[in-house]
Amino acid sequence: VSGLAVLTAFAIAGQTSSNPFIGFWKQNLERSKMNGTPPPGYTNFRHYEQQAVGWMAHTISYNWSQGADFSFTTVRYDGKEYPVYTSSTLGAYLGPGTKPSRTVSFKKISDHILEFTDRENGTVSTTGICTVSADGKTLTEDDRSFDAQGNERSHTIAVFERQ
């Protein structure tokens, strides 16, 4: 299945919801503030989908020279840690059942603002705030990444537009 077909399926699956995060988003690289310049052909998509027990987040990044990478998780807004599966960890989980070393937790600040924390092997690796604009057309992720000693490595602002 081509990446475009998968992304099209995500877009079609996007449903209207009272949760403004739910839907399909594409990063606007010109409006984003990232450390360094993304490689030519780089794209980043998000798809948030309502689930019976919370919501599922899919991320697909594509770099023409390195191919596609993905991550997904199913979470609740309860501040608890949930596993994050990636291209490299999904096979280890499906085969021998090895749980991924990366987790994420979300807290709902308001209907349009979420706070998140990523951990790698229990150590905080990224924290941030996700905000959906009042008109529901823009999702902004403001995050800070940290090294294993807790020193800030980077600060990025990723701007996504609803598709």
pLDDT tens-digit profile of 101-136? Answer: 999 999 999 999 999 999 999 999 999 999 999 999
**What are 16-55's pLDDT values in tens digits?**
468 999 999 999 999 999 988 888 888 999 999 998 878 8
Contact in structure between 143 and 119 (CB atoms under 8 Å): no
pTM equals 0.83
Q: How far apart are CA 59 and CA 31, in angstroms?
A: 19
